[in-house]
Structure 1
Amino acid sequence: MELRLLATFEKVAEVLSFTRAAAELGYAQSSVTAQVRALETSLGAELFDRLGGHIRLTPAGERLLPYARRMAELAGEAREAVTAGEAAGTISVATMESLSTYRLPPLLEYVHHRHPGIRLSLRPTLGDAAREALRRGTYDLGFLMEAETSYEGLETEVLGPEPLVLVAAPGHPLAARTALTTADLAGTALVGTEPGCAYRDLFEAELAPWRPGFLEFGTVEASKRAVASGLGIVLLPRVAVREELAAGTLAALDWEPPFTLFTQLAWRRGKRLPAHVRLFVEQARRLARE
């Protein structure tokens, strides 16, 4: 079996789409289809059920997938052994705006300048979608911001707690009040990032008895501007509003979130991380300790 054919099969199995696999591998779709057909012919077994516009793995494909993954990892190990030296390779990373924009830049800058052979591909993916993509191997690593720290099929490493703060415009009526309770927030206009963001979902759950409605602005930056304009209040990681709090364009409300979130690194359980990915993980750990 050719490694090239196995790699193509693994990618199609991960994304369950010949079209998407072709785009991610940089092949024509016809080439991906031909490679999968060639592998099926060499094995004498159908690897995918083709159901109209959808595909799924056959039992034979399910049995082959862990071997394909292991062979790809062994090929990477062999390459490392032969070309030991400067770290190089691509790392696809699932992340979220509040981390990639405000928490990760020192890490990304370090890797870019110190290890130019490492190419980073950051993919905005939240919550359940990020975890499922990591289980399937679509991404090498994922930065998560969640209350939970253990997930089926994933290895995780907690980098640290992620402080949250409820903010408003300085002139907002709640800005001058102390010891706010969740009930005090009822009836206040709320601004939210997109659903699926852990701190947004947890905040919404806390306010559920009052049936809150959110003005959704989708991104952290848009949410901050809306709040600074007096459109409501928003819960965000403190790191995302550090500059605005220092400048006085936003004010921190005296409300303590009844939940704690942790920034974490995650990858598929049982996956041996290549050398350049291990280097990236080690730098993430180092910066988290500083």
Structure 2
Amino acid sequence: MDLAALEIFRTVVEAGGITRAATRLHRVQSNVTTRIRQLEQSLGVALFVRDGRRMVLTPAGQTLFDYARRILQLSDEARQAVQPAHPHGRLRIASMESTAASRLPTVLARYHQAWPEVELELVTLPTRQALEALRRFEVDCAFVAEPLDDAELVKRPGFTEELVVIASAQHPPIHTPADLERPTLLAFEAGCNYRARFEDWYNRCGHPAGRVIQLGSYHAIVTCAAAGIGVAIMPRSVLALYRNLPQISIHPLGEEGRVATVLAWHRAMGSAALDALADMLPGVAAPPQAARGISRTSRPR
């Protein structure tokens, strides 16, 4: 005896017969008749007395009908509890530091206003670590940088970033790694997608990897770049957050600097709260406010 059989049985009783029940259920009459007979056989009792075209409940049928209504109601309540019609509960989000700082505040403020019953938790992690947390089910979703090739993960377009190289204000234009006065890279820990992109760019030009100084915040990275300790790669949108940007030079990377940020989650972790967050994403970011500083424009490559 399963829920589908109980649903068919209840509909036959409420509709007053096989024909009308089949219409309501969008099934052929023979299928409804077969399911009722199978239910009677599994229970070992007759549920209806068939009097011509009429179907009258037997005492056993009346008892089952009472239970069927209660069971199906509980089933509906259970479905609503785990898949609510409106977002509620806890939503654990992992995000890259840059996205959390420059893109998410507005989105999360709108989300909190629209869905106050959702308890938001946000942790910042580099892309690789965020994906690992996602696969361990330590978070419900993650904002990570493309490329993302994992058949178990669902992804929704979020934002498009422009990555730029920053250096001291006196640094000459940077077109290739050979233009770097100091090849020291200021970056987050290994696992950062932007750091990996910079290192790939460096290696493709045939230069040995330079020294990497790992720092824990973009503010530290910017001030160290301004001091001439090294160079860094970061989204222009992060630089746009500064009211008083330290004296740095900004070097665009052109098409190589365009990176898509996506919202990713495991297929089994979908929820109304997560769907509501995905629906608030723009899919592509508006052009960020120009960051102040000395802009060095790259020549075409």
What TM-score bracket applies, with the shorter chain setting the length?
A: 0.5 to 0.7
The alpha-carbon deviation at position 188 of structure 1 amounts to 3.5
Q: Which amino acid aligns with 1:240?
A: V
- Equivalent residues of 1:244, 1:250 under 8 A apart: no
- In structure 2, the partner of 1:56 is none
Q: How does 1:215-234 map to 2 (within 5 A)?
A: 215-234=213-232
- In structure 2, the partner of 1:136 is 136
Q: How many residues align?
A: 209
After superposition, the C-alpha distances for 1:176-201 in whole angstroms (9 at most, x for unaligned) are x3x62232226443322222110111
Q: How does 1:51-70 map to 2 (within 5 A)?
A: none
Alignment partners' CA distance in 2, 1:272 and 1:195: 27
The alpha-carbon deviation at position 262 of structure 1 amounts to 1.2
Summarize the Cα distance change of 1:197–1:135 in structure 2 as closer, same or farther, 3 Å threshold. Answer: same
- Equivalent residues of 2:141, 2:264 under 8 A apart: yes
Query: Aligned pair 1:97/2:97, yes or no?
Result: yes
Alignment partners' CA distance in 1, 2:226 and 2:98: 18
- In structure 2, the partner of 1:169 is 168
Long gaps (5+) in structure 2 = 1-75, 288-301
Alignment partners' CA distance in 2, 1:98 and 1:261: 12
Q: Which amino acid aligns with 2:106?
A: P
Long gaps (5+) in structure 1 = 1-73
Alignment partners' CA distance in 1, 2:175 and 2:239: 20
Identity of aligned residues (%): 26
Summarize the Cα distance change of 1:138–1:181 in structure 2 as closer, same or farther, 3 Å threshold. Answer: same
The alpha-carbon deviation at position 77 of structure 1 amounts to 3.7
- Equivalent residues of 1:199, 1:235 under 8 A apart: yes
Summarize the Cα distance change of 1:261–1:76 in structure 2 as closer, same or farther, 3 Å threshold. Answer: farther
- Equivalent residues of 1:189, 1:233 under 8 A apart: yes
Q: Secondary structure of the equivalent of 2:276?
A: helix
Query: Aligned pair 1:279/2:272, yes or no?
Result: no
| Matching residue within 199, 208, 223 for 1:204 | 199
Alignment partners' CA distance in 2, 1:88 and 1:225: 41
Alignment partners' CA distance in 2, 1:134 and 1:218: 22
Q: Secondary structure of the equivalent of 1:138?
A: coil
- In structure 1, the partner of 2:294 is none
The alpha-carbon deviation at position 232 of structure 1 amounts to 2.1
Q: Which segment drifts farther, 125-134 or 247-256? A: 247-256
- Equivalent residues of 2:89, 2:119 under 8 A apart: yes
After superposition, the C-alpha distances for 1:128-152 in whole angstroms (9 at most, x for unaligned) are 3322332333221111023x13323
- In structure 2, the partner of 1:157 is 156
TM-score by length of 1: 0.63
Alignment partners' CA distance in 2, 1:249 and 1:263: 28
The alpha-carbon deviation at position 255 of structure 1 amounts to 4.3
Q: Which amino acid aligns with 2:81?
A: R
Summarize the Cα distance change of 1:84–1:244 in structure 2 as closer, same or farther, 3 Å threshold. Answer: closer
After superposition, the C-alpha distances for 1:151-178 in whole angstroms (9 at most, x for unaligned) are 23111122243210111232x232xx3x
Alignment partners' CA distance in 2, 1:230 and 1:245: 21
- In structure 2, the partner of 1:239 is 237
**Bigger Rg over Cα:** 2
Alignment partners' CA distance in 1, 2:226 and 2:182: 19
Alignment partners' CA distance in 1, 2:152 and 2:104: 25
Alignment partners' CA distance in 2, 1:187 and 1:212: 9
Q: Which amino acid aligns with 1:201?
A: A
Alignment partners' CA distance in 1, 2:159 and 2:78: 31
Summarize the Cα distance change of 1:169–1:155 in structure 2 as closer, same or farther, 3 Å threshold. Answer: same
The alpha-carbon deviation at position 289 of structure 1 amounts to 7.1
Q: Which segment drifts farther, 155-164 or 101-110? A: 155-164
Summarize the Cα distance change of 1:77–1:251 in structure 2 as closer, same or farther, 3 Å threshold. Answer: farther
- Equivalent residues of 2:96, 2:124 under 8 A apart: yes
Give the structure with the higher percent helix: 1
Q: Secondary structure of the equivalent of 1:227?
A: helix
- In structure 1, the partner of 2:116 is 116
| Matching residue within 253, 260, 263 for 1:262 | 260
The alpha-carbon deviation at position 76 of structure 1 amounts to 7.1
The alpha-carbon deviation at position 100 of structure 1 amounts to 0.7
| Matching residue within 188, 191, 212 for 2:186 | 191
TM-score by length of 2: 0.60
Summarize the Cα distance change of 1:214–1:110 in structure 2 as closer, same or farther, 3 Å threshold. Answer: same
- Equivalent residues of 1:145, 1:162 under 8 A apart: no
Q: Which amino acid aligns with 1:156?
A: K
